Structure 1
Amino acid sequence: HDVPVTLLVDGIPHNFGYGRMDIQPIFPMEIERIEVVKGTADPRYGLGNIAGNVNVHTKQGGEDTEARLLTGSFNTYDASIITSHETGHFSQTYFAGYRTSDGYRDHSELKKGAASGKWFYTPGNDRLRIGLIARFFAMDANAPGYLSKSQTEEDPRQAAGFAGTDGGEQENKHGSLHLDFRPTRDLSWSLKIYAQNLRRTRWARWGDDETQAERFSDDYQYGAISTLSYDLNDGVMARLKIDWGLDYMYQNNLERRWTTVDRVRQDGPIRDWDVNKYYWGSYVQADGDIVSWLRLIAALRMDSLGGSYRNRLAGRESDMLDLEYIWQPKVGAVVTPIEGYSAYANWGRTFQLPGTPQLFGQNAAGDPIDRGLTESTNDGWEAGVKLSPVAWLSVRAGYWEMVADDEVRDKMDGTGDYINAGKTNRKGWDATMTVRPHRWIFLWGSYSHTEAIYTDPGPGLEDRQGKNIENIPDYTAKMGVDVEHPIGIFSSVWLESQGKYYLDPQNVKQKVGDFDLWNLSVGYKTRVATLGMEVKNLLDENYTAFAWNDDHGFSPGDARSFYGWICVAY
């Protein structure tokens, strides 16, 4: 359930050292917009950009203040405030948010808080913009554990009997410098330099017959991202933009584990890894309108990695595998024969690294393994159409496919060695539509159908041949209706739907995980204040939010819940 995408916040990578993205530190009030790029055709990012990227842009600048208070089911309380001020060429923005909740299930209490400050200076000629962003986040949460299917049906609110002290803590610190410079009308340069610390402790027990473990990770990340753009308007082509990007990241990741009883450590660590990784990448992209109806994009990215790993328990240290040059070509085209009617297609390659410690030529026991391992490749393509024949209607539909090859896995011969083997194929189609039949009414919807298959699982895993990959739903969909009357009344009704998925790679066990959740929001807006109420899971459906094991791996979703809120802006 870790998503293979790069998460960025204001253009800065925000993934844990082992790849997991985490959007929890960003409160909704601070978000201005979210950009999602799906697929393999975006050359801007390399590490973690396996199936796309998500860039969260937060609010900056202006001359206003907004505060929001929310309360609701499960003793949930949420308070957020953001304020921005501009004086001459200097702008400053401050945000603070705090949330606490008992949670739907027993032993699922949550407390989290975040704060940020943004300071930017723009001289009078508007060619230069310099800024500083600082962030802090802290969270303390309990975990109710996973249930069996029968327990979920009998009492979904209960916590697993073995999970009475499960939970975790997290603390993030971030600082970044931002520079945007436009020396000429056609040339621009962007530079971001950052440092951040992501620290996480988790206590988890997975079953009655297992012991609790404390999992601690401490990631220090330092990096820089540079983008130079040149708009070439010489009359030969309608439009041509050349981008050259260069980025660097250094990580020091400490990962330790202990056997615990009710969060009390028993003896010494059972895992003690010290990982140092450096990574740099570069790309060049040409994006141009050859003629008025034809846009072509071509890009080439290269990534290089190095570093070292020390297994302190085994007393063994080793360098990273030879991954000096990872080349990733990308191409795309958009054809617009008539205004409002477009067809598009793209193809690209991304990569996925072996996990630690295999990335450094060791297995989990600290024994040497084959250092001939390489990254796995992901080749993906997409083709579709975008239609907007009138201002009030927009439709997009596309078919896509991604093939992952040479995935790193156990050799399955009892030696503990690893190999590049196997191939998987993911394909599907997506559709989105927005309709505004009246200036008060907005209808929207999206649907994504996915088929993911083990096409060649490799030696020792022949029973997976042709089977569906586990934990990938048949489809996901979201659709709704928004109504906003000029007198200030507004409402939304929307449906979140998901299909079933297999829990095992052999597809022997039953499929689970489907749900259809209706939600409702109503409110009234005045010049300075907005009052609102939301009902989540309106029809009170019993459903599984996530499942990973057919015996004791079910996590029940929240029952019907009510929330009221007030937002004041001035």
Structure 2
Amino acid sequence: GTSDPRWGLNNIAGNANILTRIGGNYLDARLIGGAFGTVDAQASAGLERGGFSQNYLIGYRRTDAYRDHADLDRLNLAGKWFYDFGSTRIGAIVRHSVAHAQEPGYLTDADADTDRTRSYAVSATDGGTRRIGQYSLHLDADLADPLALSVKGYANSLHDDRYVRYSAGVPQQRRLTEEWQYGATAALHYHPRVEFLHALMIEAGGDVQVQDNKSLRWLTDRRTPTSQTRDQDFGLTVYGGYLQAMIEPTDWLKITPAWRIDRVDGHFANRLAGTTAPINDYGTISQPKLSVAVTPLTGVTAYANYGRTFQIGAGSASYLVPPRTTDVAPSINEGYEAGVKLTRGRWLEARVALWQQTASGELKRRLNDPSGDVDNLGRTRRRGIDLQLDLKPVRTVALWGSYSHQTARIITPDPATPSQAGNAIDHVPQNVFSGGLDVTPAPKVRLSLWGNGQSYYELDPANTQGRYGEYVVLNAEVAYKLTPRIEISAQLKNLANERYEYVWYDGTQRLHAPADPRSLFGAVRLTL
């Protein structure tokens, strides 16, 4: 959440840490086939000898998709190489993805109800290519008994070239995005021994994130350019540092104060108009944070945290582009959370939390805008409760579930839209939930049932276009081990054949993107 000081840019409501395998000796391959002409093949392998480890992944997916004119062809490649010297580990990670896809477009209210697979003739030439690259270098070192260093450098690349037409009432567009994002993070951890404390860790760190982006758009007629509407070249640099202390006066109390500051720099060029603009002067963005955790009983932890984060404009909205003549302050998020965690061995984990987040001037990207600007929703507030449960009552049964309820409101709207005071923030459902059940009735058999869903959301900040988006989707899988190394399975997605879709409002009409109906897939998996 907002109490994590490690990140600045894009850490608006917190972050998610995704860990993937490093090291090991294994081969894991899976082949899936089924509905809509779908073929999905993945293979990963690990090789570790001495201190040197290698991990590789290759994945390929091809599908005709549920909707007409929605074919997808995608290739993913990844490799990791790490060497462990004992007190020091160095490594490199490379990931590459390329996808070619058609785009079926959106449907009107009537057709989304009666002809869900349809793709209009105006979308016949829609589609594009996307290439993504991720490259990183890693260093982890124990400098001394109480001192450790972690450093990462990275570069991400994006090439996205799309042709898209949203409805018959607007022309087709070509949208070309070229981005390079690179930077570095570093953290120093110090674990001094203090006689009157149970434990103490002091962490100092920082990061720099640099973006070199180009965004170009044209109006086109069946992929033939007719005029150019955007040619933007902009750079963005965000750099910051933090200091954090994890103080444990006793084994049942942990207090974690932290402070982070960030600065923003950059430049913007509208090459179509031949003009430039400086970055908004956001100043030094100060972000205090505090977390407290109390463990009165083994397996019971009560916690509370507070933190500030920030949001700045996306694309051209981060710069002083006319008609703006005065600098825009960053939107400051303030988050509060209090909760209780319960653990009982390996069979029970549960959590309940109450939280609130406010934003001083929440920004929302303006859809389909030639200038790439944003809308200011104004001061907003989100309040909610989160529930989470993982239960393994016996060795052969595992049950999990989560539920989140929130109200998201515009408290003080932008002066240009005073009527939106008290309105719900669009596309934010009040209820989101998921859950599942895994049963192993016999050593070779696995049965799984899982699902997720959400309630309705508003389509626009004015709350005048109705509510859409409610769904509950269930999935089921039956798996059987032919041998200790080979497993076959059948998976039925959208078990109840729920009709649901993503819906948005383009200013003149509601547009729908229907989701897949009930669909059957089969798979075989090999593990060595």
Indicate which of 86, 105, 115 corresponds to 2:48: 86
- 1:220 matched to 2:185: no
Aligned to 2:280: 321
Aligned to 1:22: none
Indicate which of 32, 35, 39 corresponds to 1:77: 39
SS in 2 for 1:52: coil
Given residue 446 of structure 2, which amino acid in structure 1 is its aligned partner?
F
Aligned to 2:26: 64
Residue deviations 1:298-331 (CA, integer Å, cap 9, x gap): 1101111111110011211122122341111111
Tell me the CA shift for residue 232 of structure 1.
2.4
Given residue 527 of structure 2, which amino acid in structure 1 is its aligned partner?
A
- 1:495 matched to 2:451: yes
The whole-number CA distance in structure 2 between the counterparts of 1:409 and 1:498 is 22
Tell me the CA shift for residue 419 of structure 1.
10
- 1:129 matched to 2:85: no
The whole-number CA distance in structure 2 between the counterparts of 1:422 and 1:344 is 30
Change in 2 beyond 3 A, CA 1:131/1:418: closer
Aligned to 2:490: 533
Aligned to 1:163: 123
Residue deviations 1:268-291 (CA, integer Å, cap 9, x gap): x21000001222111111112222
TM-score, structure 2 length as denominator?
0.94
Tell me the CA shift for residue 390 of structure 1.
5.8
Residue deviations 1:440-489 (CA, integer Å, cap 9, x gap): 00111100111111111031212111111111112110111111245221
Tell me the CA shift for residue 423 of structure 1.
0.7
Residue deviations 1:113-134 (CA, integer Å, cap 9, x gap): 11112111112xx101111112
Aligned to 1:445: 401
The whole-number CA distance in structure 1 between the counterparts of 2:511 and 2:503 is 8
Given that residues 468 and 503 in structure 2 are in contact (C-alpha distance below 8 angstroms), is that contact kept between their aligned partners in structure 1?
Answer: no
Given residue 300 of structure 1, which amino acid in structure 2 is its aligned partner?
W
- 1:375 matched to 2:330: yes
Aligned to 2:99: 139
Indicate which of 62, 67, 76 corresponds to 1:100: 62
Aligned to 1:12: none
Aligned to 1:551: 509
Given residue 19 of structure 2, which amino acid in structure 1 is its aligned partner?
H
Comparing 104-113 with 543-552, greater Cα deviation is found at 543-552
Change in 2 beyond 3 A, CA 1:193/1:389: closer
- 1:282 matched to 2:244: no
SS in 1 for 2:428: coil
- 1:230 matched to 2:190: yes
Given residue 40 of structure 1, which amino acid in structure 2 is its aligned partner?
T
The whole-number CA distance in structure 2 between the counterparts of 1:76 and 1:222 is 35
Aligned to 1:346: 305
SS in 1 for 2:318: helix
Aligned to 1:569: 527
The whole-number CA distance in structure 1 between the counterparts of 2:323 and 2:505 is 31
Aligned to 1:48: 10
Given residue 517 of structure 2, which amino acid in structure 1 is its aligned partner?
A
- 1:516 matched to 2:516: no
- 1:245 matched to 2:205: yes
Given that residues 104 and 119 in structure 2 are in contact (C-alpha distance below 8 angstroms), is that contact kept between their aligned partners in structure 1?
Answer: yes
TM-score, structure 1 length as denominator?
0.88
Tell me the CA shift for residue 389 of structure 1.
4.8
SS in 2 for 1:505: coil
Given residue 374 of structure 1, which amino acid in structure 2 is its aligned partner?
A
Aligned to 1:176: 136
The whole-number CA distance in structure 2 between the counterparts of 1:404 and 1:179 is 36
The whole-number CA distance in structure 2 between the counterparts of 1:55 and 1:393 is 22
Given that residues 529 and 566 in structure 1 are in contact (C-alpha distance below 8 angstroms), is that contact kept between their aligned partners in structure 2?
Answer: yes
The whole-number CA distance in structure 2 between the counterparts of 1:507 and 1:371 is 30
Comparing 95-104 with 524-533, greater Cα deviation is found at 524-533
Given residue 175 of structure 2, which amino acid in structure 1 is its aligned partner?
R
Given that residues 41 and 59 in structure 2 are in contact (C-alpha distance below 8 angstroms), is that contact kept between their aligned partners in structure 1?
Answer: yes
SS in 2 for 1:266: strand
- 1:337 matched to 2:292: no
- RMSD between aligned residues: 1.9
Change in 2 beyond 3 A, CA 1:245/1:149: same
Unmatched 5+ stretches in structure 2: 366-372
Aligned to 1:16: none
Aligned to 2:388: 432
Given residue 527 of structure 1, which amino acid in structure 2 is its aligned partner?
P
The whole-number CA distance in structure 2 between the counterparts of 1:486 and 1:234 is 53
Change in 2 beyond 3 A, CA 1:420/1:148: closer
Indicate the percent of aligned positions where both proteins have the same amino acid: 37
The whole-number CA distance in structure 2 between the counterparts of 1:113 and 1:354 is 32
Residue deviations 1:173-212 (CA, integer Å, cap 9, x gap): 2321111101223211111112231111121111111001
Residue deviations 1:220-245 (CA, integer Å, cap 9, x gap): 12211111111223232111111111
The whole-number CA distance in structure 2 between the counterparts of 1:249 and 1:454 is 31
Given that residues 503 and 510 in structure 2 are in contact (C-alpha distance below 8 angstroms), is that contact kept between their aligned partners in structure 1?
Answer: no
Given that residues 465 and 505 in structure 2 are in contact (C-alpha distance below 8 angstroms), is that contact kept between their aligned partners in structure 1?
Answer: no
Change in 2 beyond 3 A, CA 1:148/1:182: same
The whole-number CA distance in structure 2 between the counterparts of 1:58 and 1:179 is 17
The whole-number CA distance in structure 2 between the counterparts of 1:567 and 1:500 is 38
Indicate which of 434, 451, 469 corresponds to 1:478: 434
SS in 2 for 1:278: strand
The whole-number CA distance in structure 1 between the counterparts of 2:341 and 2:469 is 31
Aligned to 1:397: 352
The whole-number CA distance in structure 1 between the counterparts of 2:514 and 2:49 is 50
The whole-number CA distance in structure 2 between the counterparts of 1:534 and 1:98 is 19
The whole-number CA distance in structure 2 between the counterparts of 1:569 and 1:342 is 38
The whole-number CA distance in structure 2 between the counterparts of 1:242 and 1:486 is 49
SS in 1 for 2:167: coil
SS in 1 for 2:175: strand
The whole-number CA distance in structure 2 between the counterparts of 1:152 and 1:409 is 26
The whole-number CA distance in structure 2 between the counterparts of 1:446 and 1:465 is 31
- 1:305 matched to 2:264: yes
Comparing 59-68 with 479-488, greater Cα deviation is found at 479-488
Change in 2 beyond 3 A, CA 1:488/1:561: same
Aligned to 1:34: none
Tell me the CA shift for residue 408 of structure 1.
5.8
The whole-number CA distance in structure 1 between the counterparts of 2:490 and 2:364 is 49
SS in 2 for 1:270: strand
The whole-number CA distance in structure 2 between the counterparts of 1:193 and 1:401 is 34
Tell me the CA shift for residue 260 of structure 1.
0.9
Aligned to 1:386: 341
Change in 2 beyond 3 A, CA 1:289/1:189: same
The whole-number CA distance in structure 2 between the counterparts of 1:183 and 1:355 is 39
Tell me the CA shift for residue 76 of structure 1.
0.4
Change in 2 beyond 3 A, CA 1:547/1:422: closer
Comparing 305-314 with 230-239, greater Cα deviation is found at 230-239
Indicate which of 222, 225, 228 corresponds to 1:262: 222
